Structures are given as structure tokens and as C-alpha cells.
Amino acid sequence: MLTSTFQRLNTYLDSQVIGQPDLVKQLLIALLADGHILVEGPPGLAKTRAVKVLSDCIEGSFHRIQFTPDLLPADLTGTDIFRPETGEFTFQPGPIFNALVLADEINRAPAKVQAAMLEAMAEKQITAGRETYSLPELFLVMATQNPIEQEGTYPLPEAQLDRFLLQLNVDYPDEASELEILRLNRGEAMGIDKPEAVQISQREIFSARQEVLKIHMAEEVEHYIIRLTMATRQPERYSDQLDGWLQLGVSPRATLALDRCARAHAWLCGRDFVTPEDVQQMAYPVLRHRLLLSYEAQAEGIAADTIVSQLIAQVACA
């Protein structure tokens, strides 16, 4: 079964990306839900390694793009090159034309580059000159942001953040995981054989996506998703505190993302139906970057996850 194949892939990734089980799981959910993921965390927490190890397991190419303030859109998308031998211009594809793309420190690139990247993510195509070019059918972007050293960065506006299916915050591993990382790194440096990678074809990925879409979701769970998203737009119906914290609620894109991700989470857990717990598990990475907090909430240091927790506590499951 495809489910068991992806579960084995999850286990293998956990063995190679130590101490970041949430990152591994959310990467697989983004792959199954056909979306992109934004990861925020300090450097050195295996963000690049996670995507690289995943790329070794699935059919498709991988490329890492280091975003810098001097990057141009053409450096990302590609450009027309003049061929003297033919006297014609031909398009030279850029690094965006890969199945898996790591957009490292995306907030360090200027707005035009970010816009080109997000057009590719939203439309699965890029525009160069007068021509439009389609990207690979399998196309997953994991973009990273560094929460420190904000000088010289160009923060993604809310409308662009909304294009990401998921946003994940990664933190340092615990003591036991740190020891395991040490031993794994030493073993790799000594050339000790690692477990054989689980291999998954693109056909299997597309078939798994179809299975995810067919997962049963009861009407009550559908209404629960709607109530959660509506609560972000009408927080005054639930509490004065929520009303004071939220300046703007989430868009219908969040409803679609929560539906798709809850299904992927249930499927990855080996179930053929979605529970309210699946919705609650996925509410944090789906909603946290889409909520626009009020000045009062920001002044009080209220995190988006705190608001999501309040939503889950106050919105009835049925």
C-alpha cells in the first residue's frame, strides 16, 4: 500500500534528520497536499538536510537557492540567451525548474525576486520576456526565514505569506537528539553505511495525492473547519480577548489548505477518515502565518500559536 510506503519514508527521514520530527512530517504533508512550506528557525537545524534527504528518496531533481539582496528575478527563473551560431534567442531555464527547491532565507531577496518566486509557487509557471514556461508537474518549495539578523531583510507581506500552504517553526533538538546527531555525523564522516533510502516514484506521489483527496470527511468535520476559519474573521462572537488580538482573519485559501492538510495527516496516520484531531493538529501550521495580529497583541507579545490555541479551545467540534 502507498500509505505504508510513505510511513517507511517518514521513518527513514526521521533516522537521517534527527530531532526534527515535525519538520519531516510537515514536509511529507506538503508533498501529499501539493503545497509549499515556509520554515522559520535559527541556522544549523537541518532545514537544508531535510529537503536534501527527501530529494534522495523521490524521483526528481533538487536545487538550493541562496537568496541575497543582489539577486535578480532572472537568476531565479532563467533568461533568454543569444546564440551567435543561429542568430536567435533561446531560453535558458533557471534553478526554479527543479522538482524540489530550497529557497534559503527568502526574506533576504528584494520584492521583485520574491514576486517571481511566489508566481512560480502559485501558478506553477514563470514568465520570461513575452513567454510563459511551465514548471515540472512535481514542484515543492521549502522556503526558510532566519528569525535573527533582520537587518537588510525584506519581510514577506501577508498576501505573499498566504501563498504558503504551511508555516513551521523549528527549534533546537533536545539533549538526547543532540547526542544522536553527533554520532550520526561521526558515522557519516567515517563512511559507515547508512540505511538504504526508501525510493518513491513521481507516479506513486501523484497516486497518493488522489488517495488523500478521497479520504472520507464527515459533514460535521467540514463544518468544524469552516467554524475555525470564520472565527478568525468574527472573533467578537467568541471572546473580547480574541477580538482584541485579531486585526484580520484568514482567507478562503486557509479553509482549502486546512481541508487538504487534515486529509493528508489522516492518510499518513493510516486512517481512511478525518477526525477533528487531524484538523486541530494541522490548524497551527496552516493558520499561524495567515493571522494578522493587532497592535495590542504584538505589544503584549502574543504569539499566533496562542491565538490558534484559543480558537481550538473556544470553537466547538460539533
Instruction: Look at residue 160 and tell me whether its pLDDT is greater than 90.
Output: no
Within-domain flag for 199: no
In a domain, 241, yes or no: yes
Q: Please check the confidence at residue 151 and state whether its pLDDT lies above 70.
A: no
User: 162 and 235 share a domain?
Assistant: no
Is residue 203 a part of any domain in this protein?
no
Report pLDDT for 284: 96
Strands across the sheet with 37-40, in order?
A: 62-66, 100-104, 140-145, 37-40, 166-169
Is residue 297 a part of any domain in this protein? yes
Taking residues 64-77, what's their average pLDDT? 89
Share of the chain above pLDDT 90, in %: 48
For residue 126, pLDDT over 70 is answered with yes
In this prediction, residue 265 has a pLDDT band, given cuts at 50, 70 and 90, of very high
Whether 164 and 301 share a structural domain: no
> Do 230 and 297 sit in the same domain of this protein?
yes
Q: Indicate whether 135 and 230 sit together in one domain.
A: no
Residue 299 lies in a domain: yes
Q: Which domain holds residue 222?
A: 215-314
Give the confidence band of 197 by pLDDT, cuts at 50, 70, 90: confident
**How far apart (Å, rounded) are the C-alpha atoms in residues 232 and 189?**
49
Question: Total structural domains in the chain?
Answer: 2
Does any domain span residue 202?
A: no
Do 27 and 118 share a structural domain?
A: yes
Do residues 164 and 226 share a domain?
no
Least confident of 119-123, 175-179, 247-251, 257-261: 119-123
For residue 250, give every residue at least 6 positions away whose Cβ sits within 8 Å of its Cβ, in sequence order, or none: 229, 232, 233, 287, 290, 291
Tell whether 149 and 72 lie within a shared domain.
yes
**Residue 152: which pLDDT band, with cuts at 50, 70 and 90?**
low
- CATH code of the domain containing 64: 3.40.50.300
Position 150 confidence tier, pLDDT thresholds 50, 70, 90: low
273: CB partners within 8 A, 6+ apart = 215, 216, 217, 218, 266
CATH code for position 288: 1.10.8.80
Residues 127 and 185 in one domain: yes
Predicted confidence (pLDDT) per residue in 5-33, tens digit? 999 999 999 988 988 999 999 999 999 99
pLDDT reported for residue 267? 96
Whether 116 and 55 share a structural domain: yes
Strand 292-293 with 246-248, pairing:
antiparallel
Output the pTM of the full model: 0.90
How deeply is 21 buried, as exposed, middle or buried, from its count of CB atoms within 10 A (0-12, 13-18, 19+)? Answer: middle
